[in-house]
Each structure stands twice: as structure tokens, then as C-alpha cells.
Amino acid sequence: MTPGGPPPILFDVYGTLLDTASVARACETVAPGRGAELGALWRARQLEYTWLRSGAGRYVNFQAVTEAALRYAVRASGARVAEDRVSALAGAYLSLDPFPEAAGALTRLRGAGHRCGVLSNGLPEMLLPALRRAGLADLLDPVLSADAVHRYKPHPRVYGLGPRALGCPAGEILFVSANGWDIAGAGWSGYRTFWVNRAGAPDEELDAPPWASGPTLDALAELLGAGDPDGIR
């Protein structure tokens, strides 16, 4: 890792620092009693659309992807939502709840000398307000967006933003995500990875296992704060 000091850390945002399931409250306003179901379908289609568009070279920005996925989820759920309410509902991604340990873990990591930033599919215009509202913005620099390369994770161009911004090879950066596929993508691009495995899922069968994993961001802070026999510090 980084010679002479703690490694910089880049975090995924959606599902890692911010809880995408918290859109359920907004979804309840259009699908009473089914907000969680609608929110989960929305998130699943959002991810699928990023993969399809990135793989096919048919990029549109993350706000457009998010709204398109919501339109599909609304139709599939049978909810009736006027078009002018779709954009308003998509705005729930600007006010996602942070995971309860996020601010504390980031504060501990920064206190230990780690530079903490984010590498996300989100647009800067989506990420910055969401991180500010969650009380995390002042703890994170840089804020890197896939929009800079018009691809989505796990495309290698996206992960390539980290070394350029931080001025060091990917192997000297720790990448943290709660998404197993994102961990694999970062690993393929040379990062050391930590998987926030909140659901206790098995490792993905993608030939890129995480360097380490734990159930929360606190587990990462504890691991790094306790030292690393493999030389991470």
C-alpha cells in the first residue's frame, strides 16, 4: 500500500455510505404498503440499466438512468404515478439516509491518517447534495463520478479515475463497497478491496475476492486501527 503512511480509501456511495432502501418512505407516498417493494425494484433496475448502457456504449447520465428505472418499477408494480411526480420521486436519491455508523467510521479513519473519498456512478449534482444532507460531505475528498468517463462501474475507465485523482497506483488505494460486483470490478482494476457485507452473502464467483470483509464500516475502521499483519499500514 502507500509507502510511509496509511493508504487512501475510496468508498462507493449508494448502498455503502448511503442506504438506498431508505427510498421506501418516498415510495410509500405512491404505493402505500408497498414502498419497500417498489424501492427494491427501482434499485435493481437502476443497476441493470447502468450495466446495459455501459456495456453497449449507450451512456446517459445517472439521473436519467434513475428516472428511467423508476418509471419501469412504477409500471411493474402497478402503481399509478403521474409523469410530473416521477422526477419528484426520483429526488429521493438526494436525501438518502446514511448508514448509522458512516460518519463515525469516516471520522475514525481520517483521524488515523487515511484520506477518504468516493468513487460513484452518481452525478456530482446528485452526490454532493446527498452527502451534505447526510452530514458526510466534509469527511470526503475527492468526490469522483463515473460521469467523467461516460461509463458505469464495473467498467475499468471508472476505476481508473481513482489513481489519476490520488496520484498513486490502484494497488496503493483501498476501495470499499457493499456491492459484491463492485468489489470484483475494483479488484480486476488492481485495487485492494474491503467488502461491507451487510447481508452476510457468500463471495461472488468472479475470481476477485475481497482482501477483507466485515458487516459494517466500523469493521473496516477497527481492522485498520488495529494494524494489519499483511502490511497495510
12 catalytic per annotation: yes
SS3 of residue 176 by DSSP: strand
**Choice among 12, 19, 147, 182 that is catalytic:** 12
Please check whether residue 179 is in contact with residue 198, taking contact to mean a CB–CB distance below 8 angstroms: no
Query: The dihedral of CA 123, 116, 217, 134: what is its sign?
Result: negative
* CA gyration radius, the chain: 18
| Spatial contact of 179 and 12, defined as CB atoms under 8 Å apart | yes
Residue-wise DSSP of 91-152: GGGGSPEEPTTHHHHHHHHHHTT--EEEEESS-HHHHHHHHHHTT-GGG---EEEGGGTT--
- The residues annotated with a catalytic role in the active site are 12
